[in-house]
Amino acid sequence: MSKTKSWELSRRSVLRGAAGAVLALPWLEAMAPSVARAQAAGGKPPLRFVGMFHSAGVIPDQWFPTAEGSGYALPASLSPLETVKGDVLVLSGLRLGAWDYFEKTHEGGFWMMLTASEHITAGATDSIDQVIASATASQVRVPSLTLSVENNGYYNPGYQDANGDGYIDPKTSSYDDTQDHCSGGEQCMVSFARGQRLPNVYNPRVLFTRLFGSLTSTGPTDAERRIWTYRRSVLDRVTSQAKSLQGKLGQADQLRLDEYLSGIRAIEQSIQKAEQGNPAPACSPGAQPVGIPMDRTAYADLMCDLIVKSFECDATRVATLMLGMCVSPMTFTVNGRAFSHHGDASHHGNDPVKKAAKVEIDRWQVARLARLVQRLKAVREGDGTLLDNVAVYYSSDISNSDWHNHYDMPVILAGRAGGAFRTGRHVRAQDKRCGDVLLSILQAFGIPRGGFGPLAQGPLSGLA
């Protein structure tokens, strides 16, 4: 039985430790006013949004289901969704603009994906993530996250592992993880605020500090950012405060706080492992790594885990994650052969070997969505899970990877957005627009459309 106490905790409370370290807390019953605390179980948790970018389109007959409704079979490219099939909506028939059948550009579809706007207007155009961020910024510590796992061609020239320890080597003249070194913003940055592209964060260590902790009060210099003086665990710095806080909480809150802190520790330990590395016995000492795993899957999954944790502690309610640039040179090895995503696999020219490679690359991307959904679903929130209060919009810059068309776009919705979406189905929305889905998300959040999305015609019916 939970304890009944008059003691209350501010919603914006944090744990504070030595050297200025701070750690945000998840939502706890003790944060609700005493008069309303009895109604907490029936209250509505906040909604969150994730925009995930799938690079370089798809092979349609390997992506779109043939049957509609809940009884559809997952095609090859969507097979990683099998374990979360009941938690997603697969949409087909959508287009970006009025008529987008042939010969459109990666870049045009890229900027339209979250803006529903054919033209970016300086001082005016916002992507949906920034519309939502503007509405929720006063309630969180970080208004939004813009993340990516491909910085100017992934490991070329910036990402290198010269010492073979499995982690990205320190900064060189061609690589600096504190800046976005995208060779062209039109290919690398999917979020817009008042017509300006927003740079990405690539380093999980940087992201973790931004979300959950801080360095010394004076802040790091450029040199300090290269080696990160923040060495001891954030949790070690706040242990005494956490123990003191647990003594004031009811049983349900104690369990929730224990689960939350355990999750934070697991993620931070993963980041510190990436930062410190595990050099082989014969490894040359060299310079210390800076915190990004060389393994592409481990890297992307860690970013997904941090998004989940940021939502759980309500540090932010908005995130975008790019799984590659829109014209991505990222190399994948399929059946022992290396394929450049854009140059080889995406533009397959109907070559069966290249098409098979593209399917495998798409499966890798979709598997990251599946993991995000699984992690969101694993977090308890109120009478349900975190996934119940999230809308994940997953789409790409083009549809058919070999044609450059903006018709029949690959779109997946995950999460229920507080009950606004009925998942577990394939919905054919023939000749409707992707922007209509974005308007449905804004509607679920209770945010007026305003000037958002000139290409959108109205919220899409059939999602509930």
pLDDT, one tens digit per residue, over 46-65 is 999 999 999 888 999 999 99
pLDDT at 149 over 90: no
Look at residue 329 in the predicted model and tell me its pLDDT.
76
Give the pLDDT band (50/70/90) at residue 102: low
User: In a 10 Å sphere around its CB, with 0-12 CB exposed, 13-18 middle and 19+ buried, how is residue 241 labelled?
Assistant: middle
3-class DSSP state of 112: helix
pLDDT at 5 over 60: no
- The top-scoring range by mean pLDDT among 111-115, 427-431, 437-441 is 437-441
Q: Which two tokens stand for residue 108?
A: 């045009």
pLDDT at 258 over 60: yes
Residue type, 259: E
Give the pLDDT band (50/70/90) at residue 273: very low
Q: What is the mean pLDDT of residues 389-410?
A: 87
Look at residue 272 in the predicted model and tell me its pLDDT.
54
Look at residue 284 in the predicted model and tell me its pLDDT.
27
Contact 423, 112 (CB under 8 A): no
Look at residue 400 in the predicted model and tell me its pLDDT.
79
Look at residue 349 in the predicted model and tell me its pLDDT.
64
Quickly tell me which residue has 């990402």 as its tokens. Answer: 159
Q: What is the mean pLDDT of residues 207-228?
A: 51
164 or 349: which leads in pLDDT: 164
Q: At what angle do helices 352-377 and 296-312 cross, to 10 degrees?
A: 30
213 or 129: which leads in pLDDT: 129
Out of 133-137, 293-297, 443-447, pick the least confident: 293-297
* Cα dihedral 96, 100, 430, 392 in deg (nearest 10): -30
Mean pLDDT across the chain: 77
Nearest to 435 by CA among 53, 63, 78, 98: 98
Look at residue 46 in the predicted model and tell me its pLDDT.
94
What is the end-to-end Cα distance of the chain in Å, rounded? 36
pLDDT at 33 over 70: no
Give the pLDDT band (50/70/90) at residue 156: very low
Q: How far apart are CA 190 and CA 127, in angstroms?
A: 8
Q: How far apart are CA 269 and CA 273, in angstroms?
A: 6
